[in-house]
C-alpha cells in the first residue's frame, strides 16, 4: 500500500542526523558544495523507487552547510536516502553524482535487501555513463526507547583488564556452537557463561559498524565461491550496528539486539570494546562506488593527491579519511559519543590509528587535534582508548603515539615474544623489557605499562595454533596468489608444515603455545587473548582470513573438548594473574623489586643469553615473591635458584613441560621445593615458582 505524501516544513539544522519530535521526523545532511539536495522516502526497505521525493529549497532548508527538513507525519520505521547534486569536477576534487542514492552518514540503522549489491547506488565511469544498482541500502528511522534497566559503564581499572578479541559472527555461527541465534548479537549472550568460566572481563569485537559483506568480486580459486568481506574493515554506516548480526525479525532489530547484548555482558561483569575504522571508508579509490561521503563532499571527507582526481592512500584500502578537517573531526566525535551514550560501549580500538594523527596534507603532526579532542572530550573522558599505532603509509608509532590516555597494540611485544620462544639467539634482554611492561617504549613519554596492550596473536595474522604449526602463510584461498598477508610471522612448524600425527611434534607445539600464553599473562601491561586460541582454533595457515566467511574463520567449538588441556591451562593462567597483583600494577618495576639472573645465578649477559631467570621480590603490600625460569632452547637447563631466608621455600606453580593437571596448580596446591638449590627446566619450557613458608 502506498503511503500518502507527507507535508514538510523547514526543520532544524541541529542535531545532525535524524531525530523524532512531536508530529514528525527532522532530517539533516551536511554538504558544503551541493547545489540541490533531495530526500527520498520509501515505503519498504526493498523498494527501488521512492514513494516520495522532497527537494530541499536552499532558501528555506539550508543553514550554512547543513540541509534540513521536517517531514510531518513521518514515523519511526521510515526508510530513506538522499540524492545530491553539485559540481562534477574531478580536478577540483568534486565528484557529485546526481543519480547516486546516498546513505545518510548519521543513520543509526541500515536496512538492506539480500544480497546487498557491491554498489548500492551508482558508479560514474570515465566516459560519463552511470551504472545504477537495482538494490541498495537505506537509512531507517528507529525507535529510541530501550529498557536499559539502569545499566551503567563498568569502569574497570586498566590493570585488571583481560581482553578477549572476537568476531561477532564467528563466535557462534559454527554448528558446533549450538547457538539458538547463531552468528548474532544475541548469540554472543549464549557464550557469556563460557567467557566467565575462562576468566576474561572485556571483549573486543572486530568491526560491527555497518558494512557490505558482498562488496568483493574475487572468488576462491578452489571452491569457485565468491569471497566476502568477513572482517568488516570497510565501514559504510558509522553509527549503525551491522544489520547482518541481527536476527532480522523486523527492520532495525539489530539496534535493540546489540543493546540487549551489551546489557547482558555488563551484567556478567564484561566490558565491551569496539574495533572502529576511521581511517578509510568502503568507497575505495577513484574507481570505487559512491555510497555517501564521495557524493556529499568528496574534497572535504578525503585526503586527495595534488591531482585531486586521486586519493592519498595511507590505509592501503584505496582512500584516507581527512580526519583532521574540522567537519570530519566533529563527525568522528559525534559517532564516538553516540556509541558511548546511546549504545553503552566501554571503549574503542582504533584501526590504523596513526592516520588519525595526519594533518590535512597527510603529514604526521606532533599534537594532532583529533587525538587530543577524543582524549579530552567530556563525554569520552572515562572510556578506554586503544590505538593500532601504525598505518599503511609507513607510520609506526608504537611507544610514540600522542597522548597519555591512549594505550596501544604493542606490535613489538608480539614479535619479540614470538622470536624469544622460537629460540632466536640473544633475546633475553628483549624478553625482560617486554615482561616488565616495555619501559623502553613508554617510560620516556610519561606513559605506564597499562599503555601497552600485550598480545601474541590477533585477528590479523596466524592463530596461536598456526603460529606453532606453519613456517609460511597459506593464503591461496584468498584469491591473491598468496601475495596478501604478512610474511614476517616469526613462526616455526617444528618439523612438519601443518597438521601431523607425530606425537612429539604435537607435544612441542602445545608446549610452545603454553609458553607464549603464560608469558602474556605474566607480563605487566594489558593482556589480549585472540578468541579461540585457548582451545587451539586454526585457520589452516591462512594469516589474512579477511574474506573467509566459512569454517576457516569460525570458532569450531568441538576443539574445546579435543584441546581441553590448553583451555585449562589458559584458565589457570588468568586466575594466577588475578591472584598475583604484582603482575598487573600500573607502574614499571623499581630496580629493587626485581633481580635478573642466568642459569648459573649470575647477572645475565643481555645480548648473548637465551635462557633467563628473574626473581620478583615480595612486595610491601603483601604480594608473595615470584620466580620465572625461561628456557627457549632445545636442551634441558639447570637453573640455580635465588637464595631465600630459612623460613621460606619455593613452590612450583607452573611448569609448561609437565603433563595435563601438573602444568599449572591452583592456589594452595603448589609443589614444595624444600631443600632445592637448583631446578632443571626442560627444553622449550617455562617454570614459575611462588614463595611459601616452611
- What pLDDT score was predicted for residue 48? 87
Mean pLDDT across the stretch 559-579? 98
Place of cell 610514540: 400
Residue 153: band (very low, low, confident or very high) from pLDDT cuts 50, 70, 90? very high
Residue among 275, 346, 388, 391 flagged as catalytic? 388
388 is catalytic: yes
C-alpha cell at 274: 569496539
DSSP annotation string for 502-565: -HHHHHHHHHHHHHHHHHHHHSSSEEEEETTGGGT---TT-S--TT--STTTS--THHHHHTHH
Q: Give me the torsion for CA of 54, 57, 58, 64, rounded to 10°.
A: -50
Output DSSP code: residue 623: P
Describe the crossing of helices 564-579 and 503-522 by its angle, rounded to 10 degrees: 20
Is 617 within a domain?
yes
Q: Residue 598: which CATH number?
A: 2.60.40.1180
pLDDT at 46: 86
Q: What is the pLDDT of residue 539?
A: 98
What are the percentages of helix, strand and coil residues in the chain, rounded to 5? Answer: 25, 20, 55
pLDDT for position 135: 66
Q: How far apart are CA 267 and CA 70, in angstroms?
A: 39
Known catalytic residue at 351: yes
Q: How confident is the model at residue 208 (pLDDT cuts 50, 70, 90)?
A: very high
488, 419 Cβ separation under 8 angstroms: no
The Cα–Cα gap between 234 and 231 comes to 9
- Residue 131 scores a pLDDT above 60: no
Cα–chain center distance at 352: 10
Q: Which of 137, 107, 127 is nearest to 17 (CA)?
A: 107
- Write the CB contacts of 507 (distance below 8 Å, at least 6 apart in sequence): none
The C-alpha cell at 431 is: 624478553
Backbone angles phi, psi at 615, to 5 degrees: -120, 115
* pLDDT at residue 119 tops 50: no
The per-residue pLDDT for 134 is 56
Q: Give residue 618's pLDDT.
A: 80
Q: Chain-wide mean pLDDT for the chain? A: 95
Model-wide pTM > 0.85: yes
Mean pLDDT of 321-346: 98
Residue 643 lies in a domain: yes
Does the pLDDT value for residue 117 go beyond 80?
Answer: no
Percent of the chain whose predicted confidence (pLDDT) is above 70: 96
Least confident of 152-166, 526-540, 580-594, 617-631: 617-631
Angle, helices 428-435/503-522, rounded to nearest 10 degrees? 50
Whole domain around residue 658: which residue ranges?
A: 589-693
Does the residue 650 lie in any domain?
yes
Into how many domains does the chain fold?
Answer: 1
The predicted structure's pLDDT at residue 125? 37
Residue of 351, 408, 549, 623 marked catalytic = 351
> Which three cell numbers mark 252?
532495525
Domain presence at residue 19: no
The residues near 603 (Cβ < 8 Å, ≥ 6 apart) are 596, 597
Residue with cell 548500492: 120
Q: How confident is the model at residue 120 (pLDDT cuts 50, 70, 90)?
A: very low
Give CA 468 to chain center in angstroms. Answer: 23
Q: How much is the pLDDT for 456? A: 98
Cis ω on the peptide bond leading into residue 465 (within 30° of 0)? no
What is the structure's pLDDT at 652?
A: 98
Q: Is residue 624 part of a domain?
A: yes
pLDDT digits (tens, 9 = 90+) for 392-425: 999 999 999 999 999 999 999 999 999 999 999 9
pLDDT of residue 116: 67
The answer to whether residue 604 is domain-embedded is yes
633 domain residue, yes or no: yes
Whether residue 525 is contained in a domain is answered as no
Nearest alpha-carbon partner for 206 in 177, 253, 171, 154: 171
CA 119 to CA 323: how far, in whole Å?
Answer: 24
> What is the reported pLDDT for 436?
98
Amino acid at each position: 500500500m502506498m503511503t500518502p505524501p507527507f507535508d514538510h516544513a523547514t526543520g532544524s539544522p541541529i542535531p545532525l542526523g535524524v531525530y523524532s519530535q512531536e508530529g514528525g521526523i527532522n532530517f539533516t545532511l551536511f554538504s558544503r558544495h551541493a547545489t540541490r539536495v533531495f530526500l527520498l522516502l520509501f515505503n519498504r526497505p526493498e523498494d527501488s523507487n521512492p514513494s516520495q521525493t522532497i527537494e530541499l529549497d536552499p532558501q528555506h532548508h539550508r543553514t550554512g552547510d547543513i540541509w534540513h527538513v521536517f517531514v510531518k507525519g513521518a514515523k519511526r520505521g521510515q526508510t530513506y536516502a538522499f540524492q545530491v547534486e553539485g559540481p562534477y569536477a574531478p580536478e577540483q576534487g568534486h565528484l557529485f553524482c546526481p543519480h547516486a542514492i546516498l546513505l545518510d552518514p548519521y543513520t543509526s540503522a541500515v536496512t538492506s535487501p539480500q544480497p546487498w549489491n557491491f554498489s548500492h547506488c551508482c558508479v560514474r565511469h570515465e566516459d560519463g555513463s552511470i551504472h545504477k544498482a537495482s538494490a541498495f541500502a537505506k537509512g531507517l528511522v528507529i525507535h529510541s526507547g530501550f529498557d536499559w534497566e539502569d545499566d551503567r559503564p563498568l569502569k574497570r581499572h586498566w590493570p585488571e583488564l583481560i581482553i578477549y578479541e572476537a568476531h561477532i559472527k564467528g563466535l557462534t555461527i559454527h554448528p558446533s556452537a549450538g547457538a539458538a541465534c547463531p552468528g548474532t548479537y544475541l548469540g554472543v549472550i549464549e557464550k557469556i557463561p563460557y567467557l566467565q568460566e575462562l576468566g576474561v572481563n572485556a571483549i573486543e569485537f572486530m568491526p560491527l559498524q555497518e558494512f557490505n559483506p558482498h562488496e568483493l568480486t574475487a572468488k576462491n580459486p578452489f571452491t569457485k565461491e565468491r569471497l566476502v568481506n568477513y572482517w568488516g574493515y570497510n565501514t559504510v554506516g558509522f553509527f549503525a550496528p551491522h544489520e547482518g548480526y541481527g536476527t532480522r525479525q523486523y527492520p532495525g532489530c539489530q539496534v535493540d539486539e546489540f543493546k540487549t547484548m551489551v546489557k547482558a555482558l555488563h551484567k556478567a561483569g564484561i566490558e565491551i570494546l569496539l574495533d572502529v575504522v576511521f581511517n578509510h571508508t568502503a568507497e575505495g579509490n577513484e574507481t570505487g562506488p559512491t555510497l555517501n561521503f564521495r557524493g556529499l563532499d568528496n574534497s572535504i571527507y578525503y585526503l586527495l593527491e595534488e591531482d585531486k582526481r586521486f586519493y592519498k592512500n595511507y590505509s592501503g584500502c584505496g582512500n584516507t579519511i581527512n580526519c583532521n578537517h574540522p567537519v570530519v573531526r566533529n563527525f568522528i566525535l559525534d559517532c564516538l559519543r553516540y556509541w558511548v551514550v546511546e549504545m553503552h560501549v566501554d571503549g574503542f580500538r582504533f584501526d590504523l590509528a596513526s592516520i588519525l594523527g595526519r594533518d590535512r596534507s597527510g603529514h604526521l603532526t606532533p599534537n594532532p587535534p583529533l587525538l587530543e579532542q577524543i582524549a579530552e572530550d567530556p563525554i569520552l573522558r572515562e572510556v578506554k582508548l586503544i590505538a593500532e599505532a601504525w598505518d599503511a603509509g609507513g607510520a609506526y608509532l608504537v611507544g610514540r603515539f600522542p597522548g597519555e590516555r591512549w594505550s596501544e597494540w604493542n606490535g613489538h611485544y608480539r614479535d619479540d615474544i614470538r622470536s624469544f620462544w622460537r629460540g632466536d639467539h640473544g633475546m633475553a634482554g628483549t624478553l625482560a623489557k617486554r615482561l616488565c611492561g616495555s619501559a623502553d617504549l613508554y617510560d620516556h613519554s610519561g606513559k605506564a605499562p597499562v599503555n601497552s596492550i600485550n598480545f601474541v596473536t590477533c585477528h590479523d595474522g596466524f592463530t596461536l595454533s598456526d603460529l606453532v604449526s606453519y613456517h609460511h602463510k597459506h593464503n591461496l584461498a584468498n584469491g591473491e596468489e598468496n601475495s596478501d598477508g604478512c610474511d614476517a610471522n616469526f613462526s616455526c612448524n617444528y618439523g612438519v608444515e601443518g597438521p601431523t600425527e607425530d606425537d612429539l611434534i604435537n607435544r612441542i607445539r602445545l608446549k610452545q603455545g603454553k609458553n607464549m600464553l603464560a608469558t602474556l599473562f605474566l607480563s605487566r601491561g594489558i593482556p589480549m587473548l585472540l578468541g579461540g586460541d585457548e582451545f587451539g582454533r586454526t585457520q589452516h595457515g591462512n594469516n589474512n582470513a579477511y574474506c573467509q566467511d566459512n569454517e576457516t574463520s569460525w570458532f569450531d567449538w568441538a576443539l574445546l573438548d579435543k584441546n581441553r588441556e590448553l583451555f585449562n591451562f589458559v584458565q589457570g593462567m588468568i586466575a594466577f594473574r588475578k591472584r598475583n597483583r604484582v603482575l598487573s600494577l600500573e607502574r614499571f618495576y623499581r630496580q629493587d623489586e626485581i633481580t635478573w639472573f642466568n642459569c648459573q645465578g649470575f647477572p645475565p649477559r643481555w645480548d648473548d643469553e637465551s635462557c633467563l631467570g628473574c626473581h620478583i621480590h615480595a612486595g610491601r603490600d603483601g604480594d608473595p615473591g615470584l620466580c620465572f625460569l625461561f628456557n627457549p632452547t632445545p636442551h634441558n637447563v639447570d637453573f640455580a635458584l635465588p637464595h631465600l631466608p630459612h623460613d621460606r621455600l619455593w613452590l612450583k606453580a607452573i611448569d609448561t613441560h609437565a603433563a595435563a593437571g601438573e602444568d599449572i596448580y591452583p592456589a594452595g596446591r603448589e609443589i614444595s621445593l624444600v631443600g632445592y638449590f637448583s631446578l632443571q627446566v626442560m627444553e622449550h619450557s617455562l617454570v614459575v615458582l611462588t614463595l611459601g613458608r616452611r
